[in-house]
A and B are shown apart, each in its own frame.
Chain A
Amino acid sequence: MVYLPFTSKIPVTRIGITGLSQAGKSTLITAVINHLENIRRGALAKQTTLSGLTHGHWLRDATPAFDYDAGLHALTNSPPSWPNSTTDWSIARIELSIDRPWYSTKPRRRIIELLDYPGEWLLDLCLLEWDYPTFCAQVWSWCSQAPRAAIAADLIQTLAAIDPQAPVDAAYLLELQQRWAAFLADSRLPPYQLSRNLPGRFLLNGAHYHPEHQPFIPLFALNLSSGGGAPKFPAHSWGAVCTQNYLAYRDHEAKPFFSRHFQSLDAQVILIDLLGAMTAGSAALKDMRAALEGVLQPFTYGTDHWLGRLFRRKIRRVAVCATKMDHLLPDDQKRLQSLAESYLYDTVQRLAAESIELKVMAIAAVQAARIQTEANGEQSLIGRDKRTGQAVQFTPPALPQTMPHNLNLKIGDLPQLAPPPGLDRAHPFPGRRIDQLLAFLLAD
């Protein structure tokens, strides 16, 4: 960045916190604000690259502002709970004061903006490139295989049976759309935990989108009988209505969101819930990897492509973080990072070849478990289960050093932890590697 001396404008660093739903975005943002508020305390103070920062201050003036209060309230409550799942986008603004020598002309203030949004919407990024037949073909390629084929067998059959040329039945279309949304919601939850749930706004509408106004569904018959070329549909047929509404969704809902928020980013943090996917098994792992590859595709486009321009204009740093590492023992925490690297090997390699500073790491926004070491040296974790609220003592499994190539890996019975008691706004939350992540993102 170039600063002009003697200008009063405060430089703004925009960081996108990207991740599929439940990856841990909102929790990380809450923890980051908390760490920056307490910048002279805790691990952050030891980071030499950040030694000039003296004071952090959360600004409420962003519109719409990230609800830090709600996050803090949830985490410091007794019993504490995680922040609620996000329903709309918001921006967290933090002002940092920087200690500079008296003769320096560099600005003494700096603003960090963190963008939070529902993870469901991120997947729409893949959809920006697709016309309606491609959309149907892609969704069909996922739905015709296990596990999706088993989750909603009759819905998929019903969709495949519809003749795109036939005149549309508006009420039935609406009903099918609702069933499709319900199917997406099902496949997102355990035990499946699938990631490629399109269109994302069916799951979470946001403030202004009303799916019932312009309903559409993927029509699989289109794809079954297709012979190439854009199909022609008579007016008011299933095909024509769905194509029209799909394009409206793509161009007036999905696209504006990305072009508005992603083009001014200076850095991206990509959060992946690798542990969560591993507890769900290989199908979830595969689906998540495919989803992430689709989402990270634009980074590798050249600047002659509008998506490539959107992503590459300013972004210099990308951190890929496996979250929730506090569910593991210290030795496995290190392995989680190398697992993440081998899991996303293709993508990481491609990103590394671009002129982007890339870092793969494992983090925990809030350390939820305490480590108990027995007299014989065996270690276990003690925390509270998120669902039952009961205390639990467990030894997580030892992770392999690298991801098996076929992703045939499953972690059994790993509890999901609730936040630890005794968190306090005036102290940096106990976390793992948050300081290193910030040092990477905020370095000059």
Chain B
Amino acid sequence: MPNSSPPEQLLRTVIHATGDEVPPIDAEQIYQDQTTEAEPEPLLPAAHNPWLTRLITTALLIWLIVIWAQAVVWGWALNTLIGLTLLAAGSGIFGGFLWLGWQARRARHKLDAITAIQAQFLKAKAPHAPQTGVLNLSRRIAQLLQKNPQQAALVQALSSVDESWTYTELAQQLEHSYGAQDRIAAKLIQREAIRTGIFIAASPYPLLDFLLVAWRNVAMVERVALIYHLKLSTPARWHLYQMILRNIAFTTVTETVLDSVSQSWLSNVLLQVGVRAGQGVGVALYSVRIGHQAMRLCRVVPETQPLVDRNIGKMVIEAVRSKTHS
């Protein structure tokens, strides 16, 4: 047979044994092989059915409405004006709650949208991932951000995106526009972390102060979100804290090692400065981590270069050490 094409690349199978020399196959083993490959377990258990909570809330709501209706009727019987006032007050309060709830939902949805966009960027980074849909994504980002006048520069930058862009280019463009905010946030985190660290290192009642530290960290997260023009509502806040804690708790080993400072260096420092200052250093490092995660969660692009300089960790330690020694 005439064949002008180059010879095929031959991938050989190695046959080790056939027939009786082969170890027996048992079904159990095959089932086991499968389970070891199974997906990692989800981090949080799936939300269970909250029917009891729903039942109680519904009952409570109905009860409140009945009471309110009784009050209105009673007021009406007394005087039309009192009835009207009660009616208006009730509707006003109810409407207010609705409005608040709606606001809260919106903020929460914004966070979810950011997570989804980040996930899409990450997905496109996988080898051989299709590079279509960049335009759609950029429109989604623009839509998400455009309601905010302070983000106008970002939206402006997105208007030049067309079908020929790749995900990497889009990510770079966004990174670039986030530059200023990133710097401000990193500064803020550094300052806060140092203050918190010194606070603990110098405090006579460290146990009590941990409460204060928690509060300071919450405030820091809030301010980081504000730098990225995210208005948080209560559910959004909870969700953000939950994600921050989860990210910190489940970082991979390499990430933790790369994070801030190396372990041996840290233990060295702890030996030198003593327990009190050591506690301060630990708390400061924790604040850096919390701030860092908050930053990551507030931006639509996933982190490519470290957002918080790895040296910040060292700088915090240096500062805490020198302040407590003097």
Contacts and interface: CB of A to CB of B under 8 A. Distances in A.
B15 A411 contact: no
A198 B118 CA distance: 47
B42 A282 contact: no
Interface residues of B, number: 47
A408 B5 contact: yes
A393 interface: yes
Contacts of A358: 130
A396 to B, nearest CB: 5
25 contacts: A101-B49, A101-B51, A146-B2, A150-B1, A282-B8, A352-B130, A370-B33, A382-B23, A382-B25, A390-B19, A392-B15, A392-B22, A393-B21, A394-B14, A395-B14, A397-B13, A401-B127, A408-B7, A409-B11, A412-B11, A412-B12, A413-B12, A421-B26, A431-B34, A432-B37
Contacts, number: 142
Interface in B256-273: none
B7 A430 contact: no
A55 B233 CA distance: 39
B255 interface: no
Interface stretch (A1-9, A58-66, A117-125, A341-349): A341-349
A46 B39 contact: yes
A391 B51 contact: no
A423 B15 CA distance: 25
Given A282-B8, A420-B30, A393 B15 contact: yes
A430 B133 CA distance: 36
A348 B132 CA distance: 11
A415 B13 contact: yes
Contacts of B128: 338, 341-342, 402
A102 interface: yes
Interface string A173-188: 0000000000000000
A330 interface: yes
Given A146-B2, A282-B8, A367-B33, A393 B132 contact: no
Contacts of A281: 8
Interface string B30-51: 1101110111011000100101
Contacts of A84: none
Given A46-B38, A392-B18, A430-B31, 9 more contacts: A147-B1, A150-B1, A370-B29, A391-B20, A391-B22, A408-B9, A415-B13, A421-B27, A422-B30
B10 interface: yes
A371 B8 CA distance: 29
Contacts of A369: 25, 30
Nearest to A364: B34
B7 A394 contact: no
A282 B14 CA distance: 21
A422 B6 contact: no
A309 interface: no
A409 B54 CA distance: 61
A204 interface: no
B46 A413 contact: no
Contacts of B28: 422
Contact of A349 (B8, B24, B34, B132): B132
A338 B129 CA distance: 9
Closest 6 CB pairs of A and B: A422-B27, A397-B11, A391-B22, A352-B130, A413-B13, A430-B34
B3 interface: yes
Interface of B: 1-3, 5-31, 33-35, 37-39, 41-42, 46, 49, 51, 54, 127-128, 130, 132-133
Contacts of A380: 14, 16
B135 to A, nearest CB: 11
Contacts of A342: 128
Given A392-B22, A397-B11, A412-B12, A51 B17 contact: no
Given A338-B127, A367-B34, A390 B18 contact: yes
Contacts of A383: 25
Contacts of A385: 18
A48 B132 contact: no
Nearest to A368: B30
B13 A370 contact: no
A63 to B, nearest CB: 35
B13 A411 contact: yes
Nearest to A439: B39
A392 B16 CA distance: 8
A14 interface: no
Contacts of B21: 393
Contacts of A248: none
A357 B2 CA distance: 43
A444 to B, nearest CB: 15
B10 to A, nearest CB: 5
A410 interface: yes
Contacts of B33: 367, 370-371, 430
Contacts of B3: 146
A404 B3 CA distance: 18
Contacts of A394: 13-16
A162 interface: no
A138 interface: no
Given A146-B3, A353-B132, A370-B25, A411 B11 contact: yes
Contacts of B35: 43
B16 A422 contact: no
A151 to B, nearest CB: 10
B109 to A, nearest CB: 19
A330 B41 CA distance: 19
A396 B3 CA distance: 27
B29 A393 contact: no
B11 A399 contact: yes
Contacts of B54: 101, 103
Contacts of A404: 9
A427 B35 CA distance: 13
A34 to B, nearest CB: 13
Nearest to A43: B38
A352 B13 CA distance: 35
Contacts of B14: 380, 394-395
Nearest to B45: A48
A422 B26 contact: yes
A123 to B, nearest CB: 25
Contacts of B39: 43, 46, 436
Interface in A343-386: 348-349, 352-353, 358, 367, 369-372, 380, 382-385
B51 A102 contact: yes
